[in-house]
Structure 1
Amino acid sequence: MDILQLRYFITVAACGSIQDAADSLYVSRQAVSRAILSLERELNINLFVRTHNGIKLTSTGDKYVGHARKLIEQYDELHKMMCMNEKIVDIAICIPINLYTFFLEGINEFKEKYPVVNPKIIHCTGAEAHVYLLNQKVDVIIAWTPDKSALNQSDILIESPAFFMVNENNKVANKEMLVEADILNSPIIFYTDGFDTDYYKELFPYWKKGDYFVSDIMTIYDLVDQDKGLYRVPVVAV
């Protein structure tokens, strides 16, 4: 049990809705649901009962919510007292919209761990992220890197490995690692992320006939659900 779980617990109780709680906390619905489920499993109790009208406290949850609220209030007061003499440092971070949900939970954990740092999140497209960094409008970007000759490659500190999103019924779904043959034999779904389609194709010379180039992230999820192809998750760079 941690402070973040308790904060989510009292917020859901107050809002009566996981979605409303997520909106008020500026996190994803999935992050709140996972935190509540993890807390219930850890304590081996049911804090909420889910209905078609929303979510409400069980008698057990109602018994503990007041105590949890007091703990959060005491924590916030202590946090405020300890940080009174600390200088708050603002850091502007540009995160493309299609990558934002991957980092929601990490951002909130960072805020809890480093209270003197205030991350200011700027939503953008991947095409804009590099420009923001070059023009010194942001301090850090989380964005895909098109190729090794791309903008600000010399400034990249960390780069993630490549991952694919795939329908569970696809023949490659259970493989721990894909090989070139798997990719060549399957249509690939590309998210153009703010780039003109023709220009995007120039950045990625390994595309082939039958691949998809999509500008709407929801369309990508639909294509994966229909098992139309593999979605190449953007390589993340910081």
Structure 2
Amino acid sequence: MTLQQLKYIVTVADCGNITEAAEKLFISQPSLSAAIHNLENEMGVTAFVRSNKGVTVTREGEELLSFARMLLEQADNMKDYFGGGEKRTPKFSVSCQHYSFAVNAFVDLIKKYDADQYSFIIRETQTGEIIEDVSDGKSEIGVIYLSEHNEEVISKLIKNNNLVFEEMYVAGPHVFISNNHPLAEKEIIATDDLQAYPYLVYEQGNKNSFYFSEEFMSMLDFPKNIQVRDRATLFNLVIGLNGFTVSSGVLDAELNGSSIIAKPLAVDKTMRIGIVKKKNMVLSKYACFYVEALKNHLSID
């Protein structure tokens, strides 16, 4: 097994077509096919199912790709660490729940490593996809929270994907409402106060259960529920419908607007915000900077 072979299978998986992958890798199609077959034989797996339409990754192929991406990323990290004289394109990807501090830390990262060329990715996405992204090597780290209501299920999923959770910040749940909301003058808001208003939550796709929810409270606790996919829509509905959502209480006026405010929720619970990463994986310098930027924004806010 060589790093070149690992790069080959990742490129084929990304392209979904051996001919296209061969062109991208500047090698002949027969040479690429032979290299993949040799790796499959060495590992004792069938990574791809070939057809006239291209290739489809098998279940065991997904596992092989996960390891391949991790090893390639670790090789890049080693080159970054020891190859100080080599000019390399900065690369980093993070998947996160819909947090303003995660976006602000990403902005800090780009400002720190601004260059003629870079490839940075931030995915604000569903909880299950965050864990899948990190497990599959699509993102180096993920940003999620654990609490009393979801920890057993999410922690098991993290462990089963050979990931670890590192706690960074403990927050008390807050209600996000508009500054013109009828409850805006209250110092602390109780769940009973919210019954008359629409509860806005992020839709979680096939894993749309209480355990994968970004919000601290179940939709079953409230009669009016609206599911959305992005942060801008959620906050527009918070303002337009006197709706509310429940999160960490960490807000950024420049990013979310001054019309959204946070009020403590009267519950004796906590949200443990942190990162997920591959077990025993050495983070790149970009990921390390991003983690420190996250800590800074969380402590400032």
Tell me the TM-score normalized by structure 1: 0.47
Q: Which has a greater percent of strand?
A: 2
Tell me the TM-score normalized by structure 2: 0.39
Greater relative contact order, per chain length (Cα 8 Å cut-off, separation 6+): 2
